[in-house]
Every structure is written in C-alpha cells, then in structure tokens.
Amino acid sequence: MTFTPEMKKNDGSRPTSPPRLRRRWGVVLLVVCLIAIGAYIFFSRGQSRSAKKGLSPVTPMVPVIALEAKKADFNVYISGLGSVTPLNTVTVRTRVDGQLMEVLYREGQIVNSGNLLAKIDPRPFEVQLTQAEGQMARDVAQLKNAQLDLERYRVLWEQDSVSKQQLDTQEALLRQLEGAIKTDQGLIDSAKLNLVYCQITAPVSGRIGLRLVDPGNIVHVSDANGLVVITQLQPITVVFPIPEDNLPLVLARLNTGERLPVEAYDREMRQKLAVGSLLTVDNQIDPATGTVRLKAIFPNEKNELFPNQFVNARLLVEVRRQAIVVPAPAIQRGPQGTFVYVVKADRTATIRPVSVGEIQGGEASIKTGLSTGELVVVDGQDRLREGTRVDLRPQNGGPAQNNSTQQKGY
C-alpha cells in the first residue's frame, strides 16, 4: 500500500506547522507586557501612597547664626561731625614800636597767663619818662611861684594898689600851670606804661604756637601777624551740627538744667577720645543745610583733643529703660516693612514683622513684634524663606550645637 503526503497528515504524530509556532510566541510576549504594566502600576501606586503619607525627600538645612533678643537699657544718641574749637585763641602783638630784644618762650610750650614771653628795647621809653619828669618838675616850680604871686596880688588888691584885672590874670595863670602839671603827669604815666609794654606777657593760659618774629627785628603795633599765637587747650569745645528735627528734644532736656553727656570719637568712630557735656545751642538754624550747631565743652586734661581737629560727636539725649534689643544685622527690610527671621523650637525659620526704634552702635531697639529670649537670625538670612529648616551655628563659625538655644550676648 502506498502512502501519500495527505495520508501522513492524518496520523497521531502530526508535525507542528510554522503558523502555530508564531501564535505561541505572541502569547508569551503578551504575558510579558501584562506583567511589566502591572509592575509599573504597582510601584506607581506605592510611591503615591508614600507621598500621601509625607515621605517626601529631605531638604538640606541652612546654616545660620542666631542670637536671643534681650532686655537692656538702650541709649539714644544724636551724632554729628564737628570740629574742635578752643575757648580762646589769642595773637600776641606788641603794644609799642621797638626792637625785639629777647624771646623767652619755646615753641609748643604751655604757658600760664602773665608769663613773660618777650622783651622790647625799653631805652626810648626811659628817655621819654625822663623828659616827662623834667617837664613836670619845671611846671611844679612855676606853679609854686604863681601861687606866691597870687597871694601878693590879693594883698595889694585889698590895699587898692593893683587893679582887679591883674588879680584875675594871675589866677588864670595859676590854673594854667595846674593844667600843665596834669598833662605832665599823663606823659609820665604814658612813658611808664610803655615801659610795662616792653615786657610782653601771656594774656591767657594755653599752648604757644610757632614763632612768627625772631629777636633783633623791629616790631610795630600795626604788624599784621603779631609775635606768636596762644591757644587755650583746657578746657576746649567741640562745635557740631544736628538736624533741626532733633532740636526740640535737645532744648527740652537742656531747659531742665540736666547735664547732657557728649562723647567725642575719631573719624572712623572706633576710638573714644574724650567725654564732656553740652554747653549751649546756637541761636539760629542754617537754612542751607537744615541743621543747628551745638557746642560741647570737654576738660581735655590729657590733651586728647586738638584745635581744628575733626571728631564725631555723640549727644546722649535719652535712655530707654529695659528695651528689647537685637543686633542690627538681624533687621531686614522688604515691601511690607521691616522684619526679622525668628527660629522656632522645631528649628525652622519664620518671618516676623517688627517695629524698629533706633539703630545705634550695632544694636537695634524693637518697639513691637519680639519678645525677650526669642532667637533671631543675625547671619545667613539671604538663603532663608518661610519655614526653612536651619542649622544653628555659633558666632565663631564652629560646629553646629546640639541644644536648641544659642549662646547669649552680642
């Protein structure tokens, strides 16, 4: 019996055809795709549930320096750039013409009032004194003779031996001689005074400046420069301007008779030079600058201040007792006004609006918005936002502290 290909297809071990094999592979690929889709959906739902439970990625902490707000007495100052002005500056001049014979001072020497400074040649005035005294002696002799003649004329007039005119003429001559004697006395006093002026003395106590005239020169009363300049240094004053808006407060304190302290600092406001008190206020406001000048007096016992020196003067006008004080760098300004960053107990920063009083000496007084003991950020604010987690650092830049409060103090 002969078998044909069609008959082989009908037995129990029929071979697999290529179309059926392709269908099996398609089923496998479909199952793999379904498994991948299911895994993606499963993990996506898991992450969504984790996000809903608050398991978000941890944001980094911002390192900052924070200090506590404290209560302290806050001094309110009014400052101004002033100049040191002596109470007295005297140019010593000669009061007589003559040759400068001797200079008895050293440049830069401290002298007292009445100390001898220089000598003028006295000989011309000694000659004038001698002449005046000689004239005086002659006129005195003539006066005595006229008095004797007058007594004789009176006796003769009583005897009707001379006329009344002769008696009156003799009396007039007597009065003329009395006037001449007074003139002579004036010349004598003038010559003696010129001799005194030949001894040039210090009119005030102070520091001698540089010498303007050397010995041997002829000096005159009309000389413009004088002989030397003396400047009084103790006490000394500082004249400085303040804004006109602050004038009512200063006058109110000054009118009570209270002594208002004034401190003098160098130009950089780093070194305190001297401490004095307010002396007086000028009588008018400068319309060009809107300021009024104040004068303060300083003992200047150690010559801390020098004439015409520029200093920063600070006038203490008020002391605010137990004010809330924070470092000035903590104050921030924005469109809504001034604010600070306050560190809460959970180490997050929050924005706190505050009302600022005065800012002086690196500190700021807070009127409202803060309480004593609250931590305010003084460094690192540029990276902060509302709710930012912070890492508290000490002022010296050391490692972060584990406690929830920083060191106190400024």
Asked if residue 225 has pLDDT above 60, the reply is yes
**According to CATH, where is 2.40.50.100 located in the chain?**
92-117+200-231
Band the pLDDT of 8: cuts 50, 70, 90.
very low
**Region 373-402 average pLDDT:** 77
Architecture in CATH for domain 92-117+200-231: Beta Barrel (2.40)
Residues pairing with 389 in the sheet: 348
For the domain covering 122-197, report its CATH number.
Answer: 1.10.287
The 10s digit of each residue's pLDDT in 271-309 is 999 999 999 999 999 999 999 999 999 999 999 999 999
Q: What was the pLDDT predicted at 335? A: 86
Q: What was the pLDDT predicted at 140? A: 94
HSE of 232 in the Cβ direction (CA atoms, 13 Å)? 19
Cα→Cα distances 333→330, 352, 354, Å: 10, 11, 10
Tokens representing residue 224 in the block: 């413009």
Q: Which residues make Cβ contacts (< 8 Å) with residue 69, sequence separation at least 6? A: 324, 325, 326, 366, 370, 371, 372, 373, 374, 375, 376
What is the gyration radius of the CA atoms in the chain, in angstroms? 52
What is the average pLDDT value for the chain, to the nearest integer?
Answer: 85
**Region 324-338 average pLDDT:** 89
**Region 12-33 average pLDDT:** 62
Strands 236-243, 261-265: pairing is unpaired
Choice among 205-209, 307-311, 393-397 with the minimum mean pLDDT: 393-397
**According to CATH, where is 2.40.420.20 located in the chain?**
62-72+322-393
Cα separation, 378 vs 410, whole angstroms:
10
The CATH number of domain 77-87+233-320, selected from 3.30.365.10, 3.40.50.1000, 2.30.30.90, 2.40.30.170: 2.40.30.170
Cα→Cα distances 92→108, 129, 191, Å: 15, 25, 21
Cα separation, 244 vs 233, whole angstroms:
30
The 10s digit of each residue's pLDDT in 81-138 is 999 999 999 999 999 999 999 999 999 999 999 999 999 999 999 999 999 999 999 9
Q: What was the pLDDT predicted at 115? A: 95
The fraction of the chain above a pLDDT of 70, given in percent, is: 84
The 10s digit of each residue's pLDDT in 227-280 is 999 999 999 999 999 999 999 989 988 888 888 999 999 988 889 999 999 999
Residues 325 and 71: beta-carbon distance below 8 Å: yes
Q: What was the pLDDT predicted at 384? A: 87
Of 329, 315, 322, 328, the residue nearest 360 (C-alpha) = 328
The 10s digit of each residue's pLDDT in 190-201 is 999 999 999 999
**According to CATH, where is 2.40.30.170 located in the chain?**
77-87+233-320
For the domain covering 62-72+322-393, report its CATH number.
Answer: 2.40.420.20
Cα separation, 189 vs 186, whole angstroms:
5
User: CB 16: neighbour CB atoms within 10 A?
Assistant: 8
Band the pLDDT of 320: cuts 50, 70, 90.
confident
**According to CATH, where is 1.10.287 located in the chain?**
122-197
Asked if residue 408 has pLDDT above 70, the reply is no
Band the pLDDT of 47: cuts 50, 70, 90.
low
Residues 67 and 376: beta-carbon distance below 8 Å: yes
Asked if residue 370 has pLDDT above 70, the reply is yes
